[in-house]
Amino acid sequence: MKASVYYETGGPEVFRYEDVADPEVGRTDVLISVEAISIEGGDTLNRLQGDLASVPHIVGYQCAGTVTARGDDVTAFSVGDRVVTTGMDGSHAELRAANQAGTWAIPRGLSTKEAACVPIAFGTASDCLFEFGRLHRGETVLIHAGASGVGIAAIQMASQAGARVLATASSDERLERLHAFGLHDGINYATTNFADEVRRLTGGRGADVIVDSVGGPTLQRSLTCLAYRGRCVTLGNAGREETATFDLSSMRGNNQALISYFLGAELYTAPRAHTLIAQILDDVAAGRLSVVLDRQFALKDAAEAHAYIESRQAFGRVLLIP
């Protein structure tokens, strides 16, 4: 099969488009012919500095396509089924073997391209808001990186749950587009101190829940605009700025919580998470939630696609098409 691979970590230029061996199918795996690959934030971080499970390495968490074979212990899927899959790597290729625990049937009426964008972004958004963030109707939520896949999903979910939704983005134009998905107040972090603006917008109270995918100094500043008993959920390091230590001194007196979140841990330890994503796929198929597709690239152009994502121009999801 063809795949976009790399032999060492680094910038997008490390990608090579090559023939590699087809993946082996384990007893609980499905083999899919990949039709759409959603590039996740973790994919770009892994390419930059992550571990290489093999050399050459095929990066990629998520993709969708059609089942072409299945392991002996797979009963939920048949050859010919359309599915979306997640895993630790292997999506940037024409074929992918994925464990059935990280695989979902694509509902009728939902395109394969849209389905390819759902599990990680929407599952993460839902858990950060509700399972871990415990967001309630009438509360205020701040969503960082509002124009990202997780951001757009979280804005929709929080708005539908009756929360007041604040979000950050790098331009006024991107913020304006987010109002269609339920955003109440946008904050341009390039021109405004977002923590001060959150305090201003909430009359000094702060946000009840903060969904922070940026990390580093942004996460530290997020803690300064939490409301009393607020919950800040950290889920990534998209800003790529490491902070060796955090000052948590303000949190105890305000009964606040800082929570770390990783969807993969939930998927492989809590059946609840698998069921949740199946329901979200149904919601997207029914039009209750929307996937925003920004741009698509050929699989052989993975370097260009990753560079585009890292330019922070994307609004929504970026796809690779084999």
CATH number of the structural domain spanning residue 130: 3.40.50.720
Q: What is the mean pLDDT of residues 231-257?
A: 82
Kindly state whether residue 169 falls inside one of the protein's structural domains.
Answer: yes
111: number of CA atoms within 13 Å, CB side?
Answer: 10
Looking at 263, 281, 299, the residue that finishes a domain is 263
**Do residues 171 and 94 share a domain?**
no
Tens digits of per-residue pLDDT, 285-320?
999 999 999 999 999 999 999 999 999 889 999 999
**Do residues 231 and 126 share a domain?**
yes
Q: Does position 241 have pLDDT exceeding 90, yes or no?
A: no
- d(C-alpha 37, C-alpha 113), whole Å: 8
Kindly state whether residue 39 falls inside one of the protein's structural domains.
Answer: yes
**Do residues 246 and 220 share a domain?**
yes
- d(C-alpha 81, C-alpha 65), whole Å: 8
Kindly state whether residue 308 falls inside one of the protein's structural domains.
Answer: yes
Going by C-alpha positions, the residue among 95, 83, 85, 82 that lies closest to residue 25 is: 95
- d(C-alpha 208, C-alpha 290), whole Å: 25
Question: Do 303 and 318 touch, CB atoms closer than 8 A?
Answer: no
**Do residues 129 and 141 share a domain?**
yes
Kindly state whether residue 184 falls inside one of the protein's structural domains.
Answer: yes
- d(C-alpha 193, C-alpha 212), whole Å: 15
Choose between 268 and 167: higher pLDDT. 167
**Do residues 208 and 249 share a domain?**
yes
**Do residues 191 and 209 share a domain?**
yes
pLDDT score for 20: 97
Q: Grade residue 69 by pLDDT with cuts at 50, 70 and 90.
A: very high
Tens digits of per-residue pLDDT, 176-217?
999 999 999 999 999 999 999 999 999 999 999 999 999 889
Sign of the dihedral through C-alpha 281, 128, 85, 273: negative
38 Cβ neighbours under 8 A, 6+ residues apart? 62, 63, 64, 91, 116, 117, 120, 121, 149, 317, 318, 319
Kindly state whether residue 72 falls inside one of the protein's structural domains.
Answer: yes
**Do residues 38 and 89 share a domain?**
yes
Average pLDDT over the chain, rounded to an integer: 95
Q: Does position 281 have pLDDT exceeding 70, yes or no?
A: yes
Residue type, 82: R
Tens digits of per-residue pLDDT, 133-165?
999 999 999 999 999 999 999 999 999 999 999
Query: Does pTM top 0.75 for this prediction?
Result: yes
Q: Is the peptide bond before 56 cis (omega within 30 degrees of 0)?
A: yes
Kindly state whether residue 158 falls inside one of the protein's structural domains.
Answer: yes
Angstrom distances, CA of residue 106 to CA of 49, 82, 310, 316: 32, 6, 29, 20
Residue identified by tokens 């109002």 is 179
- d(C-alpha 94, C-alpha 33), whole Å: 6
**Do residues 317 and 230 share a domain?**
no
Tens digits of per-residue pLDDT, 74-88?
999 999 999 999 999
Kindly state whether residue 232 falls inside one of the protein's structural domains.
Answer: yes
Q: How many helices (H) and strands (E) does the chain have?
A: 10, 15
**Do residues 110 and 132 share a domain?**
no
Number of domains in the chain: 2
**Do residues 85 and 19 share a domain?**
yes
pLDDT score for 260: 95
CATH number of the structural domain spanning residue 7: 3.90.180.10
Tens digits of per-residue pLDDT, 115-140?
999 999 999 999 999 999 999 999 99
pLDDT score for 238: 62
pLDDT score for 243: 61
Kindly state whether residue 277 falls inside one of the protein's structural domains.
Answer: no
**Do residues 228 and 150 share a domain?**
yes
Q: Where are the alpha helices (DSSP H) in the chain?
A: 41-49, 112-115, 119-126, 149-160, 172-178, 194-201, 216-223, 263-267, 271-285, 302-310
Q: Does position 270 have pLDDT exceeding 90, yes or no?
A: no
Q: What is the residue range of 129's domain? A: 121-263
